[in-house]
Amino acid sequence: MSKVIGITGGIASGKTTVVEEIRRAGYKVIDADQVVHDLQAKGGRLYKILVDWLGEGILNDNGELDRLKLAELIFSSPHYLKKSAQLQNPVIRQELSRRCEQMAQTENIFFMDIPLLIEQDYIDWFDEIWLVYVEKGTQIQRLMARNGYSQEEANKRLASQMPLIEKVAYADAVIDNNGRLENLQKQVAQLLKRCANVS
Protein backbone atom coordinates (compact mmCIF):
# COMPACT_ATOMS: atom_id res chain seq x y z
CA MET A 1 0.00 0.00 0.00
CA SER A 2 1.52 3.31 -1.09
CA LYS A 3 1.82 6.28 1.22
CA VAL A 4 0.49 9.41 -0.48
CA ILE A 5 1.43 12.85 0.82
CA GLY A 6 -0.34 16.00 -0.27
CA ILE A 7 1.61 19.24 -0.65
CA THR A 8 -0.36 22.46 -0.50
CA GLY A 9 0.06 26.15 0.23
CA GLY A 10 -1.07 29.27 -1.50
CA ILE A 11 -0.05 31.40 -4.42
CA ALA A 12 3.58 32.62 -3.97
CA SER A 13 4.04 30.56 -0.79
CA GLY A 14 7.11 28.71 -2.11
CA LYS A 15 5.47 25.39 -2.87
CA THR A 16 7.42 25.02 -6.12
CA THR A 17 10.71 25.22 -4.22
CA VAL A 18 9.54 22.54 -1.76
CA VAL A 19 8.51 20.27 -4.65
CA GLU A 20 11.93 20.74 -6.27
CA GLU A 21 13.59 19.60 -3.02
CA ILE A 22 11.32 16.54 -2.84
CA ARG A 23 12.10 15.60 -6.45
CA ARG A 24 15.82 16.14 -5.86
CA ALA A 25 15.60 13.59 -3.05
CA GLY A 26 14.31 11.05 -5.58
CA TYR A 27 10.57 11.09 -4.89
CA LYS A 28 7.89 11.32 -7.55
CA VAL A 29 5.42 14.23 -7.47
CA ILE A 30 2.14 14.56 -9.36
CA ASP A 31 1.77 18.27 -10.11
CA ALA A 32 -1.90 19.34 -10.30
CA ASP A 33 -1.00 22.56 -12.15
CA GLN A 34 0.82 20.53 -14.82
CA VAL A 35 -2.18 18.20 -15.11
CA VAL A 36 -4.40 21.26 -15.70
CA HIS A 37 -1.94 22.54 -18.35
CA ASP A 38 -2.06 19.15 -20.08
CA LEU A 39 -5.87 19.12 -20.04
CA GLN A 40 -5.99 22.73 -21.31
CA ALA A 41 -3.55 22.08 -24.15
CA LYS A 42 -4.94 22.40 -27.66
CA GLY A 43 -7.40 19.56 -28.23
CA GLY A 44 -7.46 18.57 -24.54
CA ARG A 45 -10.66 17.98 -22.59
CA LEU A 46 -10.56 21.31 -20.73
CA TYR A 47 -9.54 23.19 -23.87
CA LYS A 48 -12.81 22.15 -25.53
CA ILE A 49 -14.88 22.93 -22.44
CA LEU A 50 -13.37 26.42 -22.03
CA VAL A 51 -13.70 27.37 -25.70
CA ASP A 52 -17.31 26.17 -25.76
CA TRP A 53 -18.00 28.34 -22.70
CA LEU A 54 -15.99 31.50 -23.39
CA GLY A 55 -15.55 31.43 -27.16
CA GLU A 56 -12.48 31.73 -29.36
CA GLY A 57 -11.60 35.13 -27.90
CA ILE A 58 -9.56 33.31 -25.24
CA LEU A 59 -7.24 31.80 -27.89
CA ASN A 60 -3.97 33.21 -29.18
CA ASP A 61 -2.87 33.31 -32.83
CA ASN A 62 -1.74 29.67 -32.69
CA GLY A 63 -5.19 28.53 -31.56
CA GLU A 64 -3.90 27.74 -28.06
CA LEU A 65 -5.38 29.11 -24.84
CA ASP A 66 -4.11 32.56 -23.94
CA ARG A 67 -3.55 31.78 -20.25
CA LEU A 68 -3.15 35.42 -19.23
CA LYS A 69 -6.41 36.42 -20.91
CA LEU A 70 -8.16 33.36 -19.49
CA ALA A 71 -6.96 34.08 -15.93
CA GLU A 72 -7.97 37.76 -16.15
CA LEU A 73 -11.44 36.79 -17.32
CA ILE A 74 -11.97 34.05 -14.71
CA PHE A 75 -10.75 36.24 -11.85
CA SER A 76 -12.79 39.23 -13.03
CA SER A 77 -15.93 38.20 -11.11
CA PRO A 78 -17.16 35.66 -8.53
CA HIS A 79 -19.62 34.36 -11.15
CA TYR A 80 -16.84 33.47 -13.62
CA LEU A 81 -14.73 31.96 -10.84
CA LYS A 82 -17.62 29.74 -9.71
CA LYS A 83 -18.55 28.69 -13.25
CA SER A 84 -14.92 27.89 -14.07
CA ALA A 85 -14.71 25.64 -11.01
CA GLN A 86 -17.98 23.87 -11.88
CA LEU A 87 -16.78 23.12 -15.40
CA GLN A 88 -13.14 22.27 -14.77
CA ASN A 89 -12.89 20.67 -11.32
CA PRO A 90 -14.68 17.35 -12.08
CA VAL A 91 -12.41 16.74 -15.09
CA ILE A 92 -9.28 17.66 -13.11
CA ARG A 93 -10.30 15.40 -10.20
CA GLN A 94 -10.89 12.47 -12.55
CA GLU A 95 -7.47 12.87 -14.19
CA LEU A 96 -5.67 13.29 -10.84
CA SER A 97 -7.34 10.14 -9.57
CA ARG A 98 -6.21 8.23 -12.66
CA ARG A 99 -2.60 9.41 -12.26
CA CYS A 100 -2.64 8.66 -8.53
CA GLU A 101 -3.77 5.06 -9.13
CA GLN A 102 -1.13 4.67 -11.82
CA MET A 103 1.69 5.92 -9.58
CA ALA A 104 0.56 3.73 -6.67
CA GLN A 105 1.50 0.71 -8.83
CA THR A 106 5.21 1.58 -8.74
CA GLU A 107 5.95 3.90 -5.76
CA ASN A 108 5.93 3.15 -2.01
CA ILE A 109 5.78 6.87 -1.19
CA PHE A 110 4.80 9.64 -3.57
CA PHE A 111 3.51 13.18 -3.42
CA MET A 112 0.74 15.21 -5.01
CA ASP A 113 1.12 18.98 -5.31
CA ILE A 114 -2.41 20.45 -5.21
CA PRO A 115 -2.68 24.23 -4.56
CA LEU A 116 -6.40 24.07 -3.61
CA LEU A 117 -6.19 20.71 -1.84
CA ILE A 118 -8.29 21.84 1.13
CA GLU A 119 -10.70 24.15 -0.71
CA GLN A 120 -11.61 21.45 -3.23
CA ASP A 121 -11.87 18.67 -0.64
CA TYR A 122 -8.99 16.37 -1.54
CA ILE A 123 -8.13 15.86 2.14
CA ASP A 124 -9.29 12.22 2.28
CA TRP A 125 -6.91 11.29 -0.54
CA PHE A 126 -3.83 11.63 1.67
CA ASP A 127 -2.04 9.89 4.49
CA GLU A 128 -0.40 13.22 5.37
CA ILE A 129 -0.78 16.84 4.31
CA TRP A 130 2.23 19.18 4.27
CA LEU A 131 1.49 22.91 4.18
CA VAL A 132 3.98 25.49 2.91
CA TYR A 133 3.30 28.54 5.04
CA VAL A 134 4.17 32.24 4.72
CA GLU A 135 2.75 35.35 6.35
CA LYS A 136 0.15 37.17 4.22
CA GLY A 137 2.30 40.30 3.86
CA THR A 138 5.24 38.24 2.58
CA GLN A 139 2.92 36.41 0.19
CA ILE A 140 1.64 39.68 -1.30
CA GLN A 141 5.16 41.12 -1.69
CA ARG A 142 6.40 37.95 -3.42
CA LEU A 143 3.38 37.84 -5.70
CA MET A 144 3.84 41.47 -6.73
CA ALA A 145 7.56 40.90 -7.38
CA ARG A 146 7.09 37.59 -9.23
CA ASN A 147 4.08 38.43 -11.42
CA GLY A 148 4.34 42.20 -11.64
CA TYR A 149 0.93 42.59 -9.99
CA SER A 150 -0.28 45.74 -8.31
CA GLN A 151 -1.18 45.37 -4.62
CA GLU A 152 -4.86 45.34 -5.63
CA GLU A 153 -4.31 42.50 -8.14
CA ALA A 154 -2.27 40.53 -5.62
CA ASN A 155 -4.99 40.93 -2.98
CA LYS A 156 -7.65 39.82 -5.47
CA ARG A 157 -5.73 36.60 -6.20
CA LEU A 158 -5.24 35.89 -2.50
CA ALA A 159 -8.92 36.55 -1.81
CA SER A 160 -9.83 33.68 -4.16
CA GLN A 161 -8.00 31.22 -1.89
CA MET A 162 -8.47 30.15 1.70
CA PRO A 163 -6.03 32.09 3.95
CA LEU A 164 -2.93 30.05 4.80
CA ILE A 165 -3.46 30.64 8.51
CA GLU A 166 -6.78 28.74 8.24
CA LYS A 167 -5.10 25.84 6.41
CA VAL A 168 -2.75 25.15 9.33
CA ALA A 169 -5.52 23.23 11.16
CA TYR A 170 -5.63 20.66 8.31
CA ALA A 171 -1.88 20.11 8.06
CA ASP A 172 0.14 17.23 9.51
CA ALA A 173 3.31 19.25 8.89
CA VAL A 174 3.78 23.00 8.45
CA ILE A 175 6.84 24.09 6.44
CA ASP A 176 7.66 27.68 7.40
CA ASN A 177 8.88 29.62 4.36
CA ASN A 178 9.15 33.08 5.93
CA GLY A 179 12.93 32.79 6.24
CA ARG A 180 15.93 31.84 4.14
CA LEU A 181 16.07 29.11 1.52
CA GLU A 182 18.52 27.10 3.65
CA ASN A 183 15.96 26.95 6.46
CA LEU A 184 13.27 25.73 4.06
CA GLN A 185 15.59 23.03 2.67
CA LYS A 186 16.44 21.85 6.19
CA GLN A 187 12.75 21.47 7.13
CA VAL A 188 12.00 19.48 3.96
CA ALA A 189 15.03 17.23 4.51
CA GLN A 190 13.88 16.46 8.08
CA LEU A 191 10.36 15.57 6.92
CA LEU A 192 11.69 13.34 4.14
CA LYS A 193 14.01 11.59 6.59
CA ARG A 194 11.05 10.89 8.85
CA CYS A 195 9.12 9.48 5.86
CA ALA A 196 11.97 7.19 4.89
CA ASN A 197 12.28 5.90 8.47
CA VAL A 198 8.54 5.21 8.75
CA SER A 199 8.37 3.39 5.42
Per-residue pLDDT of the chain (199 residues; tens, 9 = 90+): 789 999 999 888 999 999 999 999 999 999 999 999 999 999 999 999 999 999 999 999 999 999 989 988 998 888 998 999 999 999 999 999 999 999 999 999 999 999 999 999 999 999 999 999 999 999 999 989 988 889 988 888 888 789 999 999 999 999 999 999 999 999 999 999 998 776 5
Q: Is 76 annotated as a binding residue?
A: no
Q: Is 106 annotated as a binding residue?
A: no
Q: Is 41 annotated as a binding residue?
A: no
Give the pLDDT score at 34: 95
Domain with CATH 3.40.50.300 in the chain: 1-28+110-189
Q: Is 193 annotated as a binding residue?
A: no
Give every CB contact of residue 88 below 8 A, 6+ residues apart in sequence.
36, 46, 49, 50
Overall fold of domain 1-28+110-189 = Rossmann fold (3.40.50)
Q: Is 138 annotated as a binding residue?
A: no
Give the pLDDT score at 72: 87
Q: Is 150 annotated as a binding residue?
A: no
Give the pLDDT score at 199: 54
Give the pLDDT score at 160: 78
